[in-house]
Amino acid sequence: MDEEPERAKRWEGGYERTWEVLKEDESGSLKATVEDILFQAKRKRVFESHGQVRLGMMRHLFVIIDSSRSMEDHDLKPNRLTSTLKLMEYFVEEYFDQNPISQIGIITTKNKRAEKLTDLAGNPKKHIAALKKAVDSTCVGEPSLYNSLNLAMQTLKHMPAHTSKEILVVFSSLTTCDPANIYELIKTLNGLKIRVSVIGLSAEVRVCTILTRETGGSYNVILDESHFKELLILHVKPPPASSSSECSLIRMGFPQHAIASMSDQDAKPSFSMSHLDSAGEPELTLGGYYCPQCRAKYTELPVECKVCGLTLVSAPHLARSFHHLFPLEAFQETPLEEYEAERFCEACQGELKDKSVFTCLACKKVFCVECDLFIHDTLHCCPGCMQTDRMS
């Protein structure tokens, strides 16, 4: 009769004070709402990332997902685990969209142990499939920060020095069960230049503060689901490359896509090399990408050639990560009162109502806060400048 016995109904869940979200600040008081501070921080991040910094485009990222008992908490709907995995799927897609020549791996930790869900790989489909499967797993015991960091480190330490080595921990529990002193491990991670960032789901934990501070990562705690998503998206953008990382030329192959139709008599169906290690049924396909070095065939890009080890990418992929190299410069912020001209945002055509307006330094067009963020976070080019370019 009861189809979902283990999942509590919405009304059975925790007591919530939803009206608290709509908190009004008593005017004149010294209290500044946290939201305000957050907004300021967001703006600041935009500025920070727009200095002339080298960004690490080739990233090796391990995501550690806490799957301990505390992930069953219902404060994210339907529970923390499901919500987290959903957002991770989105994250993986975004990640490969923005970092086409990077790799990702997923580790889960529960019951004082850590295990690899997926190894470092550049194929989003495989990760997403694994994430989908993980939804049904049970959350038991305590997480082990030490074990999972150690596991990630074992793989990351063999990665070449010019790549950016990162770990992102989604940490729900407030405790960690470690077999050894974690501060030693933090030192080792720091020595290996592995950057560890943490997203906390419940509250600020001291050891995470230290961990992120020592390794140069960021530490944030979510307020609610949308904030969670926002924080994850922050990790999509590649971090500044550490100055000490080596510069080197990387060999890359740009395989051509050979299209063959069924009607073509010469076309021979063949297996893709990426099926070698996949558990799924191998499929015969006609067309594909052929490695320019050894002629091995692949159906999807980007991939590392199984035969000769060459990194295979497509030109559009590389072009997509191009904007990381030449980021759009920060717009100039001026208070609304000082702004004289017509109060229209160039992008959304809406009226400028916020405290301040933003002016592009190149084309002198004016934008509102929301559009400013959108332009810098998503578009990466100024629509005003594009227009003037075309005109001239």
Partner 1 sequence: FRLNIEGLLVYFPYDYIYPEQYSYMLELKRTLDAKGHGVLEMPSGTGKTISLLSLIVAYQKAYPLEVTKLVYCSRTVPEIEKVVEELRKLMDYYAKQTGVKNDFLALALSSRKNLCIHPEILHANIVVYSYHYLLDPKIADLVSKELAKKSVVVFDEAHNIDNVCIDSMSVNITRRTLDRCQTNVETLQNTISRIKETDAAKLREEYRRLVEGLKEANVARETDIYLSNPVLPDEILQEAVPGSIRTAEHFVGFIKRFLEYLKARLRIHHVVQESAPQFLKDIYEKVCIDRKPLRFCAERLRSLLRTLEIADIADFSAITLISHFATLVSTYSKGFTIIIEPFEDRTPTIANPVLHFSCMDPSIAIKPVFGRFQSVIITSGTLSPLDIYPRILDFRPVTMASFTMTLARTCLCPLIVGRGNDQVAMTSKFETREDFAVIRNYGNLLLEMSAIVPDGIVAFFTSYIYMENIVASWYEQGILENIQRNKLIFIETQDAAETSMALEKYQEACENGRGAILLSVARGKVSEGIDFVHHFGRAVIMFGVPYVYTQSRILKARLEYLRDQFQIRENDFLTFDAMRHAAQCVGRAIRGKTDYGLMIFADKRYARADKRGKLPRWIQEHLTDGSLNLTIDETVQLSKHFLRQMAQPFRREDQLGLSLLTLEQLQSEDMLQKIAQIAQQA
Nearer to partner 1, 35 or 354 (CB): 35
Work out the burial of residue 15: count CB atoms within 10 Å of its CB; fewer than 13 is exposed, 13-18 middle, 19 or more buried. exposed
Neighbours of 242 (CB within 10 A): 14
The answer for residues whose C-beta is within 8 angstroms of residue 56's C-beta and 6 or more apart is 163, 164, 238, 239, 240, 241, 242, 245
The answer for residues whose C-beta is within 8 angstroms of residue 196's C-beta and 6 or more apart is 149, 166, 167, 168, 169, 189, 211, 212, 215, 217
Neighbours of 96 (CB within 10 A): 22
Give the pair of three-digit tokens for residue 78: 């339907």
CB of 5 to partner 1, least distance (A): 22
Neighbours of 313 (CB within 10 A): 20
Q: What DSSP state is assigned to residue 32?
A: -
Give the pair of three-digit tokens for residue 285: 């396909």
Give the pair of three-digit tokens for residue 39: 């907004």
Site for partner 1 in 144-203 (CB under 8 A): 145, 174-178, 181-183, 200, 202-203
CB of 40 to partner 1, least distance (A): 7
Report how many residues bind partner 1 under the rule CB under 8 A: 38
* Of the residues 206, 251, 268, 390, which one makes contact with partner 1 according to CB under 8 A: 206
Nearer to partner 1, 38 or 361 (CB): 38
Nearer to partner 1, 25 or 97 (CB): 25
CB of 145 to partner 1, least distance (A): 6
Residue 8-27 contact track with partner 1, rule CB under 8 A, x = bound: ------xxxx--x-------
Stretch touching partner 1 by CB under 8 A, among 123-131, 150-158, 219-227, 262-270: 219-227
Stretch touching partner 1 by CB under 8 A, among 91-99, 206-214, 272-280, 299-307: 206-214
Nearer to partner 1, 207 or 308 (CB): 207
Nearer to partner 1, 80 or 127 (CB): 80
* Of the residues 128, 207, 260, 294, which one makes contact with partner 1 according to CB under 8 A: 207
Q: Mark 201-224 as b/e (b = at least 16 C-beta within 10 Å).
A: beeebebbeebbeebbbbbbbbee
Nearer to partner 1, 186 or 241 (CB): 186
Stretch touching partner 1 by CB under 8 A, among 53-61, 78-86, 149-157, 218-226: 218-226
Q: Indicate whether 204 belongs to the interface with partner 1 (CB under 8 A).
A: yes
Site for partner 1 in 30-69 (CB under 8 A): 30-32, 34, 37-38, 40-41
* Residues 167, 219: Cα–Cα separation, whole Å: 12
Work out the burial of residue 373: count CB atoms within 10 Å of its CB; fewer than 13 is exposed, 13-18 middle, 19 or more buried. middle
Stretch touching partner 1 by CB under 8 A, among 56-64, 90-98, 118-126, 215-223: 215-223
Contacting residues toward partner 1, per CB under 8 A: 14-17, 20, 30-32, 34, 37-38, 40-41, 70, 75, 142, 145, 174-178, 181-183, 200, 202-209, 220-223
